Amino acid sequence: MNFIDLFAGAGGLSEGFMRAGYKPIAHVEFDEAACFTLKTRQAYYFLKQNNKEYIYIDYLKGAITRDDLYSCIPDEILSSVINKTIGQDNQSIFKEIEKQLYNHEVDFIIGGPPCQAYSLVGRARDENNMEKDKRNYLYIQYNKFLNKYKPKFFVFENVPGLLSARSGRYYNNMKNLFDKSGYHIELFSLSANNFGVLQNRKRLLIIGYKKEFNITLPDLGNYNAGLFSTVQSVFSDLPKLQAGDGVEKFVTYAGKTNTWLTDSNIRNGIKVLTQHVARPHTNQDKEIYRIAVDKWNNEKKRLDYNNLPENLKTHNNRHSFFDRFKVVAADMPYSHTVVAHIAKDGHYYIHPDIEQNRSITVREAARLQSFPDDFFFEGVKERQSRTAAFKQIGNAVPPLMAYCISKKLKSIK
- Is 115 marked active-site? yes
Count CB-CB contacts under 10 A for residue 378. Answer: 23
Phi, psi (rounded to 5 degrees) for 3: -150, 155
For residues 41 and 15, is the Cβ–Cβ distance under 8 A? yes
**DSSP helix/strand/coil, 268:** coil
Q: Which residues are bridge partners to 152 per DSSP?
A: none
Q: Going by C-beta distance under 8 Å and a sequence separation of 6 or more, which residues neighbour residue 40?
A: 59, 66, 69, 376, 378
> Half-sphere exposure (CA, 13 Å, Cβ side) for 197?
34
Nearest CA among 252, 260, 141 for reference residue 195? 260
Query: Whole-angstrom Cα distance, residue 75 to residue 218?
Result: 38
> Which listed residue (35, 72, 115, 404) is catalytic?
115
Is the sign of the CA dihedral 283, 288, 290, 291 positive or negative? positive
256, amino acid identity: K
- Provide the phi-psi class of 111: left if phi over 0, else alpha when psi is between -120 and 50, else beta: left
By annotation, the residues acting in catalysis are 115
